[in-house]
Structure 1
Amino acid sequence: MDKTKFMSDTEQKSASVQESVDLRSRRTRHHIDHALTKLLLRRSYDAIRVSDITKKAEIGRGTFYAHFDNKDELLRKQLTDVLSRFISVSTDQLCLLDATMLFTHLRDVPQMYQSLMSGASGPGVLRMAQEILEQRLHAILEAREELPPSLHAHFVSASLFTVLAWWTENGMQQSPSEMQSIFAELSISAFTKNRA
């Protein structure tokens, strides 16, 4: 049903203006996201300033700050998007996470991972990524087990990022699907009781 049939001319114009503003806002956010991504392919996160992002996105600083408080907030948004897109969570499997797509993404752009994890901000970026994944897992784990959900979420998240770090530090010799199998085996063995 077309809602505009029941709107006055003023309401229709207002709705049209709002859609235009929303589209412009989404476009600007896309340019900002794209700018940070491009910069991360060339230099470390520590070396990137808001002014670098605004220059690359071809926007003013005021426009950047209308959308984000700082570059860390922008990074948090990007990490949230990447982790939700490239990691699937399943309560039906023994291993809660399928990160094959994340392993593939890292194999395709290893310089971005290096840019994020190098320098003084590396541990903070890693912690931010773990927290994002922990929050996603916590709600699922809360309803299904006797283990403290926050501990289980922390363990699984930290384990995944440890496996990712090991893989990148050792030259990414295994395929993404092999790494997912290794991660799954480690995760399952950690939570399976020894019945010897």
Structure 2
Amino acid sequence: MEGVDAMYHIHSDKRVNQSVESIGKALHQLIAATPYRQISVTALAKEAGVSKATFYRSFDTIDDVLRYETDQAVEQMIAYMMDQRALRQATGEMGFFHAFFLFWTAHSQAAEVLMATGTTNLLTDAFARALHRNMEFFRRHIHIDDKAAPYFIATRAATLSAVLVCWLEEKPRTHPDEMPAIMAQLIRPQGHPLCPTHL
């Protein structure tokens, strides 16, 4: 998955974390007032109260600020879904989908900013990285060889991103309790029961 490697360099240092937080907040403030592609590193650094050198110590581009935030949100999603699975014991794939939409109900802003800035590809990439990191978990539940694994990751990441964006654009939005049944229609082979895969 080298093709979707993150392009940020965040170190576990208190000052770095403070700068990263300030840059993130400043970017969201600028997005609310300025077309995204017109935001410059100079303007962002000024709004955040940091130097350009400080910005470049953590990020290569402005997109990387959103990339980092999206990766953080997806990591929180994975942790939440694993907790839901532990609480409910054997949830099955539909239980994972329910947890997926419950999570994004509470964290929709993280995806909505990508929709507003035309950067939903960052969401697809974040899902792909998360799937890649957790591939051994999926191997325990589905029969997939090394050759098929990249295709599994690519199709699942693209599907999750597209479905999430479609759901967030709905007016009114379908309740998370209803989404597993809709997902079942999308992933169940016609005439066959659900295969025992997981999100």
TM-score under structure 1 length normalisation: 0.66
Relative contact order, CA 8 A, sep 6+: which one is greater? 2
Alignment-derived partner of residue 18 in structure 1: none
> Alpha carbons of 1:24 and 1:191: their partners in 2 closer, same or farther (altered >3 Å)?
farther
Cα offset, 1:78, TM superposition: 1.0
> Alpha carbons of 1:83 and 1:57: their partners in 2 closer, same or farther (altered >3 Å)?
same
1:84 counterpart = 2:75: yes
- Encode CA deviations 1:8-49: one digit per residue, 9 max, x unaligned: xxxxxxxxxxxxx93222211211122223334445543332
Alignment-derived partner of residue 3 in structure 1: none
User: One-letter code of the match for 1:185?
Assistant: A
Cα offset, 1:60, TM superposition: 1.1
Higher helix share: 1
Q: Which has the larger radius of gyration?
A: 1
1:128 counterpart = 2:129: no
User: One-letter code of the match for 1:167?
Assistant: W
Cα offset, 1:104, TM superposition: 3.1
1:142 counterpart = 2:124: no
Answer yes or no: is the 8 Å Cα contact 1:43–1:115 preserved in 2.
Answer: no
Structure 2 gaps of 5+ residues are 1-11, 195-199
Q: Percent identical across equivalent pairs? A: 20
Q: In 2, distance between residues paired with 1:146 and 1:35?
A: 45
> Alpha carbons of 1:135 and 1:110: their partners in 2 closer, same or farther (altered >3 Å)?
closer
Answer yes or no: is the 8 Å Cα contact 1:68–1:74 preserved in 2.
Answer: yes
Q: In 2, distance between residues paired with 1:74 and 1:109?
A: 12
Alignment-derived partner of residue 10 in structure 1: none
Cα offset, 1:183, TM superposition: 5.6
Structure 1 gaps of 5+ residues are 1-20
